[in-house]
Structure 1
């Protein structure tokens, strides 16, 4: 069987430089079905190295072909774990940031709704107070004219006190709602920026 020209050149080169031969006549890197490049996709597949050569052995009388395959095993490559941990930590921080942003937006919307509800409650309390004052005034006039008993005057006065309590409760709820909204917006209750 005749040798191919590249095998003859390898054999002649091996015979000439036996002392200077590093044991790798021809070497080529091949990846098992993946594209070359640096990046996460490239590091997922093992890189295969193929080396072959033709040498004239001194012990035997004929040429010998030596071939080898090298597969790097990342047994002590801990940097990939650190990179994955850093990426997971980054994703966790981004998720916490998004959750905090959504919480702040939801809190701001809820605070706006509470302010509007407190304003409506205060307006209703003002109307209730006006009605109670008018009822007390009419009950007092009727009592002074002798047309209504004392119990009706006392009931009208009690209703006036209850209406004043409702106004105070509405004012406190309005103040609390506005203070909460200002806190969520980073402002003071007067609307100035917090420093």
Structure 2
């Protein structure tokens, strides 16, 4: 008699990082172009509807690519970066570092860099968080609260307060938890977003054809 198969461990959903400002901007831009191009498609004369169609084919995929599409999906095993025109999948064992300077980027074990479009860096947000950390009182070695020198020393031991920096700290923690780079058995992959590139290219071709025939 065979023993019952133990239940599989539950699979948890990926944690997702996206830019709320980019999502709002994308929705507003799509609504604006829908109103403008829709009016030309319905009431336009001559070649106006065709130019409106070309505008839709070109602009909509690009707006989606740069505002709605960027996202970062992570779990304990891997990271999936969805940028405007590419999707990068990497196990954490293939990630050498995750950092944020003027932009957020991931460095793969082989030295290849990938931008994290979904984690934009705001220098204003970073300065605001730094000022707030400097004003906040912190305990010194004797348990006393002091907002001055102790705060400066403490600032080097806590994660930055800016949203992008906090996200980078979380991602770096997952990478460090997974182990040394290049220590896994699986490799990453990069896929081009042809569902974005193809319609945008078709819109450009239509523009060229319409301009050529006058």
* TM score, norm. by length of structure 1: 0.28
Question: Which of structures 1 and 2 has the bigger CA Rg?
Answer: 1
Choose between structure 1 and 2 for higher RCO, CA contacts under 8 A separated by at least 6 residues.
Answer: 2
Structure with greater proportional strand content: 2
* TM score, norm. by length of structure 2: 0.26
